[in-house]
Amino acid sequence: MKPMVICIEDINNKGKTSRFTSCVALPGRQPGLRLDSAGNIPWRCDGAAGAGACELWVSADKRLILYRKEDAPPVIVHRAGRSLNVPYNKPVVLVNQDQIDLNNRQLKIHLHGEASKITAPVPLSPDSDSRLRKPKLLAQGAALAAIIGALAVSGGCIEVRENPPVPLPPDDPIEEELENPDEQQSEDLDTKALKQKV
């Protein structure tokens, strides 16, 4: 089971900064990608403080899940002219181009497939916004949307699940980017020194 690369587009952002944030949704309900009550994107927060109003994670059948916590403000998902007031503590399946309304923020979800690395959310530069519109990326996004759309309930219905499949532990560990590259270099030097002694 692999994490999923997604972009979260802030539709309300009309400024010079990018509207897009590149994110990775992790398998299962482990501390990972969240949306807080203001629509911001906390990462790997655990516990009550800053844990977020909603969780975004991947189910065992490779679907992106939005999970609204009990103390969260109202959340609405829009798709193909339909909308759903997201219930508490029930997983809702998201598909490409779904819109999430949370406390006057409108966020659009873009699905990009499996992730090869786990990384914290990164705002994309305004220049990279235009890269998201290139024909090749659009074609890939359209193909992915067609696959995911075919899996969704017909007619644009928004699926709420009682018990989504729980992801199994990963078969192969996913390489994570270190927050401090100097730590990796120091570890490499320590390993070399140890090998030389042996």
Domain coordinates in residue numbering, the chain: 4-197
Amino acid at 13: N
H or E element, residue 157:
none
Q: At residue 157, does pLDDT exceed 60?
A: yes
Angle at 109 between CA 107 and CA 113, to 5 degrees: 160
> Are residues 68 and 86 in contact, defined by beta-carbon separation less than 8 angstroms?
yes
Distant-in-sequence, close-in-space partners of 124: CB < 8 Å, separation ≥ 6: 7, 18, 20, 21, 22, 132
Q: Tell me the three state secondary structure of residue 136.
A: helix
Mind listing the pLDDT tens digit for each residue in 88-113? Answer: 999 999 999 999 999 989 999 999 99
Class of residue 121 by CB neighbours under 10 A (exposed 0-12, middle 13-18, buried 19+) = middle
4 and 115 Cβ atoms separated by less than 8 Å: yes
What is the CATH topology of the domain spanning 4-197?
Tumour Suppressor Smad4 (2.60.200)
pTM (predicted TM-score) = 0.70
Mean of the pLDDT values across residues 127-131?
Answer: 53
Q: Given a cut of 50, is residue 59 above it in pLDDT?
A: yes
